[in-house]
Structure 1
Amino acid sequence: MITVDEALTRILSTFDALPAETLAVNQTLGRVLASDVIARVTQPPAAVSAMDGYAVRAEDVATVPARLQVVGHLPAGGRYDSALGCGQAVRIFTGAPLPDGADTIVIQEDTERDGESVTVKEAAAAGTYIRPAGLDFRAGDVGVSAGRVVTVRDLGLIAAMNRPWVSVHRRPRVAVLATGDEVVMPGDPIGPSQIVSSNGLALCGLVEACGGEAINLGIAADSADSLRRLSAGAAGADLLVTTGGASVGEHDLIRSVLGEEGLELDFWKIAMRPGKPLMFGNLRGTPMLGLPGNPVSSLVCGLLFVRPILDRLQGLERPAHPTETAVLAEDLGANDRRQDYLRATLEAGKDGRLLARPFPKQDSSMLATLARADALIVRAPHAPPLPAGQLVDLLRFPGSLRSI
């Protein structure tokens, strides 16, 4: 058996970022930028008013009250073609360009209008309520850098920079194949020795949440013909993920059947719990990751290995397993030779520190505890007993893989 770190290193060394494609900006939410997005315009393009009020010369309102002649009306998008003279003011609205000669804005609350004149009751120094040209960004500035997941905020910025088209990495195509006579799809008739399949649907959901495009190949029966036929659907995918059939039983056919179909196996078995029977190889040019059949093992391995693969394919640089620390709420016994990932809930302690409370039962078939868990406590191989109150490393389940 190899370690989790070695397995991840060997897996990721197989993958590179996928080629770029050009999309309309409104189609890029959640996609990873393949190149920097550079502003084509300056924003604002000229000095503009930040408030509704009057554009004036600061020297004319240094002493108040000051009575000025209103010589123009300037809405956003408008223009005043003359230069502002001594004792003059232009009615101006937020976003409108500053008239030549004006150097400050008096807000309307500090004025009193009387026909074609206005009385300024509060002085305003030069530059007050003015947004200078280029305050936000200038043409040629890098607005959003390559390698970033496009957020809602980024969409607004990219549009403002006048970039209607954006270069992003292609979405990885991941084929997902569940196996086993004992599983059926939700809603199908359930035989006396069968259970409802959850792995395939959950892994497809993980792929989509991580920015990939899931191809659900269905469930292969425990027969060579069925496995060969359905696995052929992975042709052209960037990754094939199987679940089940990777252990050592007589009906675990992945290694034997796909081996006959050209599977070149890199490794099989990882020193981890849950997820020991995990394999990685290449099937006729398609990288293949064989996950265990137990539901918790399948999803934990998906988080630990499928997500980093998808990050690599999309050119996304972030830690594969970002851990943090918390205070252990209950005693833990000694660990064996496998790296352990314990489902746990998180809560605030009386002293404000984060508490991690492991579930008392960690059976890899128990999806309900996985759904209720907030994080996985990570325990190194041969870790000694650990009393409550000590710090532990944990890996949070991401609440959202794509942010606003």
Structure 2
Amino acid sequence: MSGLLPVEEAQARTLTLRTPLSPETIAFSECFGRYLSQPVTALRDQPAAALSAMDGYAIRFADLPGPWTIAGEVAAGAVPSRALGPGEAIRIFTGAMLPEGADTVVVQEDVAAKGATLTLTGDGPAARGRHIRPRAGDFAAGAPLLDAGARLTPGAIAAAIMAGAPAAPVHRRPRVAILSTGDELVEPGRPLAPGHIPDSNGAMLAAMLAAEPAAVALPLHARDERGTISNILRELARHHDVIVTIGGASVGDHDHVRGALADAGGAVDFWRVAMRPGKPLIAGTLGEAVLLGLPGNPASAFVTATLFLLPLVRHLAGARDPFQPRGQAPLAVPLAAGGDRRDYLRARLDGGALTPLDSRDSGQTRPLIAANALIVRDRDASARDAGALVDYIAIA
């Protein structure tokens, strides 16, 4: 459609409005979900020595099938006091260092100890090196483990610590302000006068951002007054990296976000995207802050936040790939032809198949309860039969 940006171009332009935030170093106990500002390279071998993988006895494979003379014991964290000689066995526990001279561990279930004599009662190890974790079997010093921009998952945190990193080098968390606009909106829990509705969008976006590395301020509300909105935007830009407005992004007499942004000294980079729902989307800047003006209908706000706000926050937090990946799944039911914009249809992925939800009304919130996916249907897409593969984006 004339004057509407394609979704991918709009997403790319949003990310160019500001570079990732400055790096900082934080404790591993605080870094879950953050993005690395620099690569993590192993500073040590892991394990740093050959270790036993089981409780049992360290032996020489050549001495099988025994018997052996028990010559000592080594526990995890201890250093073996002596080397292993021919015909000897040393009691060893999981995670303990292998004594010099030993090349195999026989598990305790396959042997019996009587005094200082150890005899084989089971099959014993089938090959040299059984039940041993070799030195650097996980990784060696100098090995690249995590790239810059990688998300610190629990597994990544464990690997970085084991690699010898003293702390986590990450990007600063974006500070995000949420501003709902509209005379009809009332704070949740307050009595409603005729024509008023509860403000659900502010809490919804805050919940969406709760899983992201962002510092989110409590949602604010402004009436449909251009001067009021302008003053609030100017103040928010002083303390936040991202300002998200909800509502007031269209062309009605009471849609003031674009004008208020200009009055505050900001600039619009683009307005209106070729998508449904969510066409009247604003992206711009005000000082150092990026402003995203989302539509006010709940489904529109949800979809545009998924496609633009969450990737922007991840980008500023240093993510290498900030966009939610697409998947493919078959349709459980037929799907009608698309229209003149890209559609993001609320859907339910269940049993490996996608069912579009009946309602396309972007003002309804009930479909958001059931939806766990957005079917991505390109402009002028043809009708699809049940079983046809379609693209989708997973949502919470």
**Equivalent residue, structure 1, for 2:180:** 178
Q: CA deviation at 1:315?
A: 2.4
Counterpart CA distance in 1 for 2:101 and 2:272 is 76
- Structure 2 vs 1, CA of residues 95 and 358 (structure 1 numbering), >3 Å: closer, same or farther? closer
**Equivalent residue, structure 2, for 1:76:** 76
RMSD: 2.1
**Equivalent residue, structure 1, for 2:272:** 269
| Aligned pairs (5 A) from 1:316-327 | 316-318=319-321, 320=323, 322-327=325-330
Q: Is the 8 A contact 2:203 2:219 kept in 1?
A: no
Counterpart CA distance in 2 for 1:83 and 1:328 is 65
**Equivalent residue, structure 1, for 2:31:** 28
SS at match of 1:301: helix
**Equivalent residue, structure 2, for 1:119:** 119
Letter in 2 for 1:3: P
Q: CA deviation at 1:114?
A: 1.5
Counterpart CA distance in 2 for 1:68 and 1:334 is 78
Q: Is 1:219 the counterpart of 2:217 in the alignment?
A: no
| Aligned pairs (5 A) from 1:269-308 | 269-308=272-311
SS at match of 1:148: coil
- Structure 2 vs 1, CA of residues 229 and 47 (structure 1 numbering), >3 Å: closer, same or farther? same
Q: CA deviation at 1:278?
A: 1.2
- Structure 2 vs 1, CA of residues 123 and 174 (structure 1 numbering), >3 Å: closer, same or farther? closer
Q: TM-score, normalised by structure 1?
A: 0.89
Of 220, 234, 237, the residue aligned with 2:237 is: 234
Counterpart CA distance in 2 for 1:224 and 1:139 is 59
- Structure 2 vs 1, CA of residues 384 and 229 (structure 1 numbering), >3 Å: closer, same or farther? same
Q: CA deviation at 1:316?
A: 1.5
Counterpart CA distance in 2 for 1:24 and 1:284 is 31
**Equivalent residue, structure 1, for 2:13:** 10
- Structure 2 vs 1, CA of residues 48 and 360 (structure 1 numbering), >3 Å: closer, same or farther? closer
**Equivalent residue, structure 2, for 1:351:** none
Stretches of structure 1 that go unaligned for 5 or more consecutive residues are 349-353, 400-404
- Structure 2 vs 1, CA of residues 117 and 215 (structure 1 numbering), >3 Å: closer, same or farther? same
- Structure 2 vs 1, CA of residues 130 and 390 (structure 1 numbering), >3 Å: closer, same or farther? closer
**Equivalent residue, structure 2, for 1:309:** 312
Q: Is the 8 A contact 1:218 1:230 kept in 2?
A: no
Q: TM-score, normalised by structure 2?
A: 0.91
Q: Is the 8 A contact 1:25 1:163 kept in 2?
A: no
- Structure 2 vs 1, CA of residues 334 and 114 (structure 1 numbering), >3 Å: closer, same or farther? closer
SS at match of 1:378: strand
- The alignment-based identity, stated in percent, is 42
Q: Is the 8 A contact 2:231 2:264 kept in 1?
A: no
CA deviations 1:41-90 (Å, max 9, x no partner) are 222222222222222222222xx3x3322221222222333332232222
Counterpart CA distance in 2 for 1:386 and 1:89 is 69
Q: Is 1:145 the counterpart of 2:147 in the alignment?
A: yes
Q: CA deviation at 1:23?
A: 0.5
**Equivalent residue, structure 1, for 2:103:** 103
| Structure 1 range deviating more: 122-131 or 153-162 | 122-131
Letter in 2 for 1:272: M
Counterpart CA distance in 1 for 2:163 and 2:320 is 25
Q: Is 1:257 the counterpart of 2:255 in the alignment?
A: no
Q: CA deviation at 1:227?
A: 1.3
Letter in 2 for 1:215: A
CA deviations 1:132-191 (Å, max 9, x no partner) are 211122222223332211111222222222323110111111211110110011112222
- Structure 2 vs 1, CA of residues 85 and 263 (structure 1 numbering), >3 Å: closer, same or farther? closer
Letter in 1 for 2:170: V
Q: Is the 8 A contact 1:217 1:230 kept in 2?
A: no
**Equivalent residue, structure 2, for 1:93:** 93
Q: Is the 8 A contact 2:237 2:287 kept in 1?
A: no
Q: Is the 8 A contact 1:177 1:216 kept in 2?
A: no
Q: CA deviation at 1:321?
A: 5.2
Q: Is 1:367 the counterpart of 2:369 in the alignment?
A: no
Q: Is the 8 A contact 2:206 2:219 kept in 1?
A: no
- Structure 2 vs 1, CA of residues 47 and 330 (structure 1 numbering), >3 Å: closer, same or farther? closer
**Equivalent residue, structure 2, for 1:38:** 41
Q: Is the 8 A contact 1:104 1:130 kept in 2?
A: yes
Q: CA deviation at 1:384?
A: 3.7
CA deviations 1:372-399 (Å, max 9, x no partner) are 11212222223344444443332221x4
SS at match of 2:314: helix
Counterpart CA distance in 2 for 1:248 and 1:375 is 30
